Amino acid sequence: MKAVPDRGIIGYTCAYTPIPIIEAAGFVPYRVLPMGDAPDQAGQLLHDNLCPHVKRVVDRAMGGDLPALSGMVFINSCDAMRRLADAWRNVRPQDPVIFLDLPATHDEVANRFYASELKRLADHLAVRAGIDAGEMDWQASVNTFNRLCELLAACSTRMRAGRLAGGRAAMQALYNRACTRPAAESIQELEMLLETHETDADVSPGVPVFLFGNVMPDPEAFALMESCGARIVADDFCTDSRMFSPVALGSDASVFQALAGSIAQKPPCARTFSPKTPGRMAADVVAAARECGAAGVIGHTLKFCDPYLARLPMVREALNGEGLPLLMLEGDCTLRSIGQQRTRIEAFIEMLR
Amino acid sequence: MMKTYFDDLVSGIEAKLDADPASRSPRKIYALEVARLGARLYGGEDRVAWCGVTAPFDLLAAMGVTSCFVEFIGAMLASTGMTGTFLEAAEHAGFGGDTCGYHRSVLGAAKKGVMPVPDFLIATSSPCSGGLAVMENLARHFEKDLFVLNVPQEPSAEGVRYLSDQLREMAAFVTDHTGEPLDGDRFRLAIAHTNRAREIMAEAYRLAQAVPSPANGRLMGNFGIVMALLLGTEAAVDIATAYRDDFAAKVGKQGSGIAVERLRLLWIQNRIQFKNPLVDILENEYGAAVIADELNAITWDPIDPEDPFTGLARRAISIPFNGRIDRRIAHLQQMARDYRIDGAINPCHWGCRQGTGARGLIAGGLKAMGVPVLNLEVDCIDSRNFSEGQLRTRLEAFAEMLENRN
Ligand code: SF4
Ligand code: SF4
């Protein structure tokens, strides 16, 4: 594995961020997770009705709760993210910011455009790194990223089999580290972890549930769910596996087109949809819940998240149609907000037994 | 129900104008054309497309499709006091009160069978994520085909090309659903109407900048955004002409849009769409005329009839709700300068992340040039929590503060 030149850290906030490009330029991608103890100050710039993910990230920027950054990459994933990019420029004018305009739907024309956006990012980073964009070793950075994805997936499989000490909470801690430090460090940690003997299968006797939503980075949140009697058999959040889906460079397209194509194939969050199959997210949730043998589904979304708020009724309807019970929780990125719903979670699990 | 409403509105205004041709005010002509559009949407005879806010209504008109952004229906339901039932229907179906009221009321109306079934739908990613989501929901509800226009945030060469390519694809999609190809002559005529209306609207806006201004809060409310629906037609040219001529006559006589203009206000983003006395309080009690709305401005160049898709793309990208907030702030600052604005009102529509989300930055940007902003806490569609007393007190304090500065 090639050593990553120390060109600094590039922050990002969205699971759609093209991490291999940041790495190819020699920067360490660092996801600014909505965690930590930064005081609540975002309200000075942003209205209360913005999603807590964005507000917590702004709190961290205002509170200086960040490593030294060489720049930020934002994605046009939703209104809140656009406002986040605006607020960031205001709070930390010293950070070079690049904003990538990711289409909400994908087809050939969209991919062509997004490829030009990715090229813009590569050129921007190359200038910042003082290198020629043409010299970036794409294959190496894609290989590194894919290796990371593969190892995380292997850990996840082990975790699902009840053979990862610390269970789902430990897995989340791995995801959090993997998105905030050099890939090589995580690869080393994960390889070591996977080389050690598997723990004895310790499958919790809990009720199998499928968990989905937008942002849930706190490992303790998963532990809390499990302490309510849930066995999380599969989940889908933008702070876990959605960040780490392998990319393919292909042979016939340009690097950027191949990367744009891979991003279009990623497991989507609610902001991405298909005009040809409106409501596909509902079908996806049903399929994922069925595939993992869940007895019920728990959705956890942040308040004021339009992409999810507007799709949850169709998810509810689809699950209803399949006879799969759903519990919807709304949170604000804090463990406290999930803790306050403990009784509801327990009652739901009890009902599923 | 809605068909009768619009038909009655059309015949009522027409009868009034026939009986008293001197009563032909610009607002009446505008109201008549908007009512005619509503009558066509609900008439059951036209091909109908439900759209997002930045769809190219002139292109659709040229292709024989009666089209409208769905938020217009939300606003209309609120203005007629009918929206409560529909908001409740949407909430009952799971669309929570934290989403945009425009979208909730439209979803409720669809669920209650009060939205005509369209032939197809065209969503636009600008201005907001909620707008895209409502179109996906409507396409699912009506089981009709959906086309999505991803409007880039910036007018870069790639962005403009991307959107113009999508517009070409959209025209093919429309043809697939109507069987009618885009007729070059009709398209050119529509673009000529658009350019003519644009030119006259620019004159009207320039006249509205006079001191005192011939404009007022009623005349200009929702004007720029609704006019987009009529672009490409003669109706847009007629309305713009009526406004321009009315303003020119008033300016010639140093006439003011309100009794005595003491303060000049800019309204940011959304009007409060249900009946409320706020603008009247400002204008009648404080002489504070609401002379401009944020979207009452021309932000785009004339469209080249030989390369119309590029011009349409540039226009959609140019709206102030699209792109970085500094672009929007610069637009508001320019309006504040052009109109010699004393203060701005931002109603901070509750469910709007796109607009309300940036209120602190907007207020800061206008304050930096000496224009105070009054941020209100309202839902522009949902009157159930409207607290007139509280808002009145805040408006009064704001108007008094502005007067003391002058
Ligand atoms: S949680 Fe929702 S609103 Fe917030 S950034 Fe993510 S998609 Fe956007
Ligand atoms: S008010 Fe805001 S959220 Fe609602 S339709 Fe307008 S831009 Fe979208």
**Residue A209, CB half-sphere, CA atoms under 13 Å: how many?**
30
Mean pLDDT across B26-42: 96
Sheet holding A326-331, edge to edge: A230-236, A207-213, A296-302, A326-331
Sheet holding B373-375, edge to edge: B288-293, B263-267, B343-346, B373-375
In the predicted structure, residue B218 carries a pLDDT above the cut 60? yes
Q: What is this model's ipTM?
A: 0.95
The pTM for the full model equals 0.96
Residue B52: pLDDT band by 50, 70, 90 thresholds? very high
- Classify burial at B256, counting beta carbons within 10 Å of its beta carbon; exposed 0-12, middle 13-18, buried 19 or more: buried
Which domains does chain B possess? 2-180 (3.40.50.11890), 186-405 (3.40.50.11900)
Chain A nearest CA to B216, separation (Å): 29
Atom of ligand 2 nearest to the CA of B53: 5
Residue A203: pLDDT band by 50, 70, 90 thresholds? low
Residue in B closest to A303 by C-alpha: B98
Residue B400: pLDDT band by 50, 70, 90 thresholds? very high
Asked whether A15 lines ligand 1 (CB < 6 A), one says no
Of A49, A279, A313, the CB nearest to B356: A49
B274 and B383 in contact (C-beta within 8 Å)?
Answer: yes
Contact list, A124 vs chain B (CB under 8 Å): none
Ordered by start, the domain boundaries in chain A are: 9-137
Residue A3: pLDDT band by 50, 70, 90 thresholds? very low
Residue type, position B199, single letter: E
Q: Of A263, A169, A157, A177, which is closest to residue A221 (Cα–Cα)?
A: A169
B292-309 pLDDT per residue, tens = 999 999 999 999 999 999
Asked whether A85 lines ligand 1 (CB < 6 A), one says no
- DSSP code at position A135: G
Ligand 2 centroid distance, CA of B348 (Å): 10
Q: What are phi and psi of A184, to 5 degrees?
A: -60, -40
Helix (H) and strand (E) counts in chain A: 14, 8
A50 interfaces chain B, CB cutoff of 8 Å = yes
Mean pLDDT across A336-345: 94
List the structure tokens of B255: 């006439």
A207-233 pLDDT per residue, tens = 999 999 999 999 999 999 999 999 999
Ligand 1 centroid distance, CA of A81 (Å): 7
- CA-based radius of gyration for chain A: 20
Contact list, B325 vs chain A (CB under 8 Å): 82-83, 86
In the predicted structure, residue B176 carries a pLDDT above the cut 50? yes
A103-162 pLDDT per residue, tens = 999 999 999 999 999 999 999 999 999 999 888 999 999 999 999 999 999 999 999 888
Residue B209: pLDDT band by 50, 70, 90 thresholds? very high
End-to-end CA distance of chain A: 48
In the predicted structure, residue A93 carries a pLDDT above the cut 50? yes
Ligand 1 centroid distance, CA of A215 (Å): 8
In the predicted structure, residue A263 carries a pLDDT above the cut 80? yes
Residue A201: pLDDT band by 50, 70, 90 thresholds? low
Contact list, B166 vs chain A (CB under 8 Å): 109
Chain B nearest CA to A147, separation (Å): 33
CB–CB contact B137 A278 (8 Å): yes
Ligand 2 centroid distance, CA of B53 (Å): 9
Q: Of B247, B193, B190, B255, which is closest to residue B220 (Cα–Cα)?
A: B247
Enclosing H/E stretch for A329: strand A326-331
A227-244 pLDDT per residue, tens = 999 999 999 999 999 999
In the predicted structure, residue A7 carries a pLDDT above the cut 90? no
Residues 6+ apart with CB under 8 A from B359: A47, B346, B348, B373, B375
**Residue ID of nearest Cα to ligand 2 atom 2:** B352
List the structure tokens of A202: 């310790």
A9-137 fold? Rossmann fold (3.40.50)
Rounded to whole angstroms, the Cα distance separating B178 from B198 reads: 29
In the predicted structure, residue A1 carries a pLDDT above the cut 80? no
Asked whether A81 lines ligand 1 (CB < 6 A), one says yes
Residues 6+ apart with CB under 8 A from A86: B324, B325, B326, B358, B361
CB–CB contact A312 B150 (8 Å): no
Identify the pLDDT of residue A251: 73
Per DSSP bridges, beta strands B120-124 and B47-51 are parallel
CB–CB contact B129 A79 (8 Å): yes
Rounded to whole angstroms, the Cα distance separating B344 from A86 reads: 21
B112-134 pLDDT per residue, tens = 999 999 999 999 999 999 999 99
Q: List, as ranges, residues 216-235 from A with C-beta within 8 Å of B.
A: none
Chain B nearest CA to A277, separation (Å): 8
Identify the pLDDT of residue A254: 86
Residues with a CB atom less than 6 Å from ligand 2: B 71, 100, 102, 127-128, 130-131, 270, 321, 349, 351-352, 354-355
In the predicted structure, residue A205 carries a pLDDT above the cut 90? no
Residues 6+ apart with CB under 8 A from A130: none
Counting ligands in written order, the one closest to the CA of A331 is 1
Q: What are phi and psi of B110, to 5 degrees?
A: -65, -45
